[in-house]
Amino acid sequence: MKALCWVGADQLAVREVPDPELRNERDIIVRVRRSATCGADLPLLAGRDPLLRSGDVLGAEFLGDVVEAGPEVRRHRDGDRVVVGAGVACGGCWYCRAGLHACCDNGSTEPASGDEGWGRSDAGCFGRPRAAGGFAGGHAEYVRVPYADVTAVRVPDAVGDDRALFAADAAPAGWLAAELGAVRPGDVVAVWGAGAVGHLAARAATLRGCARVVVVDRHEDRLRMAERHAGAEPLNYRHTDVSAELRDRSGGRGPDVCVVAVGQRPARSVVDRFGDRPDALREAVYACRKGGTVVVLGGTDGFVDAFPLGAVTDKRLAVRGARRPDLRDVPMLLDRMARDELRTEHLATHRLPLEEAPRGYELFRDRAHGCVRAVFSP
Ligand SMILES: [Zn+2]
């Protein structure tokens, strides 16, 4: 089959690779209909992960049809159209039973790999290197999906492919941000980053009844998209004092909840050009009202300097983090998509055949031609 492989720093190629096969009784094989780029792919693409190997297949967000199912698969049959959550989780461990699929103890086939960097490894993930289990990703014709009853969710007929695709990762990540922030009716919410996840975090905040949600970015086209489709107020940091403006829009206090969903944004401050890039995180900590919550989604590989811990303690902030969403919200989000409450297809700004995926990643990386997400079809 054909698949998009990482073949070296900043080099991708569509190659012929062996078809996947069932390995365990709870596996399914999915024939991919759509797959999407993801911001977390970009550090991989640049070759910043030492565990990535030439030939690894990328793609964390995908949707397709079941073509084969192992004997212990209960929920899926051949022909079912399913979205596959980016995370690989067993459904039975202590964390999965608590709804924390992204923390699954059995999802990664390399469970010790995260111990040194993060204290404990998280679940597995498709299209990621061995630290996340080394599962081949969705930019391919076929994918093996482990723990299929947990990891894959049937798509209602009313939801089209381009909408349902984002129920795999971007929509549950956005929803999780609003949930971790405990967004309540009447809250003022600020979201840094108007990419797909920030956009859907803003939409989740409005669905939870916030009074206003402000999205902070520097790309006017993305800000307009968040305004039009997510009900957000745009704030371009290139032209505005962000903290002062947010105070003005929140009764002088600052937002109740601040979500940082910037992925790999270029650093604004001189300090941050020399290390990892917490500038948006620092701005969120400063802007957040006293007693508020700052939610950090993905975006960092581990260590940051110049983090204002004093502001966290002085202002009694809660800081919550998540690298990946859990799977538990996927059915609920698909239901909202079916009811037309949640629309995501506009995020697929570029649709390309799988053969042109390397060009799609260039568009996505460079944010060229208004690219928010490039979507590939085998
Ligand atoms: Zn588990």
What's the 376 CA to ligand 1 centre distance in angstroms?
A: 30
Structure letter (DSSP) for residue 306: S
Q: Do residues 374 and 352 lie in contact, with contact meaning Cβ atoms separated by under 8 Å?
A: yes
Distance 246 CA to ligand 1 centre (A): 40
Query: CB neighbours (10 Å) of residue 67?
Result: 13
Please give the mean pLDDT across all residues of the chain. 91
The alpha carbon of 150 and the centre of ligand 1 are apart by a number of angstroms equal to 9
Taking the centre of ligand 1 as the mean of its atom positions, its distance from the CA of residue 350, in whole angstroms, is 35
**What is the whole-number distance in angstroms between the Cα of residue 334 and the centre of ligand 1?**
22
**What's the gap in Å between 324 CA and the centre of ligand 1?**
14
- Tokens matching residue 155: 């798509």
Asked if the model's pLDDT at residue 302 lies above 80, the reply is: no
Which amino acid, residue 249? R
pLDDT at 87: 87
- pLDDT confidence of residue 29: 98
Predicted confidence band of residue 323 (pLDDT cuts 50, 70, 90): confident
Beta strands at 212-217 and 188-192: parallel, antiparallel or unpaired? parallel
Cα(373)–Cα(366) distance, integer angstroms: 11
Q: How far apart are CA 284 and CA 216, in angstroms?
A: 10
How far is ligand 1, taken at its centre, from the CA of residue 120, in Å? 14
CA of 92 to the centre of ligand 1 (A): 5
Q: In terms of C-beta density within 10 A (0-12 exposed, 13-18 middle, 19 or more buried), how is residue 244 classed?
A: exposed
- Secondary structure (3-state) at 244: helix
Task: Give the pLDDT confidence of 26-42 residue by residue, as tens digits.
Answer: 999 999 999 999 988 88
93: CA distance to ligand 1 center in Å? Answer: 4
d(CA 130, CA 264): 21
Instruction: Give the H/E segment covering residue 294.
Output: strand 293-297
Tell me the backbone φ, ψ of residue 217, rounded to 5 degrees. Answer: -160, 180
CA distances from 322 to 103, 179, 271, 326 (A): 10, 11, 25, 9
- Give pLDDT, residue 361: 95
Cα 21 to averaged position of ligand 1 atoms, centre (Å): 22
Question: How many Å lie between the centroid of ligand 1 and the Cα of residue 62?
Answer: 21
pLDDT digits (tens, 9 = 90+) for 347-356: 999 999 999 9
Say what the pTM is: 0.94
pLDDT digits (tens, 9 = 90+) for 165-176: 999 999 999 999
SS3 content of the chain, % helix, strand, coil (to 5): 30, 25, 45
Among left, alpha and beta (phi > 0; psi -120 to 50; other), residue 137 is beta
Q: 308: phi > 0 → left, psi -120 to 50 → alpha, else beta; which?
A: beta
DSSP 8-state assignment for residue 115: H
Give the count of alpha carbons within 13 A of 127, CB side only. 30
